Amino acid sequence: MQQVSKSHFSDNIFSDLSWKEIKANFKEVFSPQFYVRGISGWSKTYYVFWVFGLVVLTYTGFFMTPFNPLSIPSWLGSIIGFTCVCAISNSSRLQGLAGLISATLIALVSIATGNYANAFMQFVYGITLDVGSLMLGDRWTARETHNMDKFGYMMLSIGGVLLWIFLLLMDMYVFRSPRALIDSFEATMGVMAGMLLLFRYKLAYIGFTFSGIFSIVLWGITLKSGHPDSLVLFFNYILYLMNDGLALTISSWSYKKKK
Residue range 229-249, pLDDT digits in tens: 899 999 999 999 999 999 888
CA 113 to CA 124: how far, in whole Å? 19
Q: How many CB atoms lie within 10 A of CB 259?
A: 8
| Amino acid 259: pLDDT | 44
- What is the C-alpha to C-alpha distance for residues 143 and 4, in angstroms, rounded to an integer? 10
* pLDDT for the residue 143: 79
85-102: pLDDT as tens digits: 999 888 787 878 899 999
The percentage of residues in the chain with a pLDDT greater than 90, rounded to a whole number, is 61
56, 235 contact by CB (below 8 A): yes
pLDDT at 256: 63
- pLDDT at 255 (0 to 100): 66
Give the pLDDT band of residue 8 (cuts 50, 70, 90): low
Query: 3-class DSSP state for residue 211?
Result: helix
Domain range list for the chain:
4-250
What local confidence, expressed as pLDDT, does residue 129 receive? 85
Which tens digit of pLDDT belongs to each residue from 112-167? Answer: 999 999 999 999 999 888 888 888 888 887 777 788 889 989 999 999 999 999 99
- Predicted TM-score (pTM) of the model is 0.89
Rounded Cα–Cα distance for residues 52 and 50 (Å): 5
pLDDT of residue 109: 97
Q: What is the pLDDT of residue 2?
A: 41
The answer, yes or no, to whether residue 9 has pLDDT greater than 70, is no
Residue 235 pLDDT? 98
Buried b or exposed e, range 89-109, using 16+ CB within 10 angstroms:
bbbbbbbbbbbbbbbbbbbbb
Instruction: Identify the weakest region by mean pLDDT among 174-178, 222-226, 247-251.
Output: 247-251
**Dihedral angle, C-alpha 119, 123, 129, 130, nearest 10 °:** 110
Q: How many residues does the chain have?
A: 259
Local structure of 148: helix, strand or coil: strand
Please, are residues 7 and 74 in contact by the beta-carbon 8 Å criterion?
no
Among the listed ranges 106-115, 135-144, 200-209, which one has the minimum average pLDDT value? 135-144
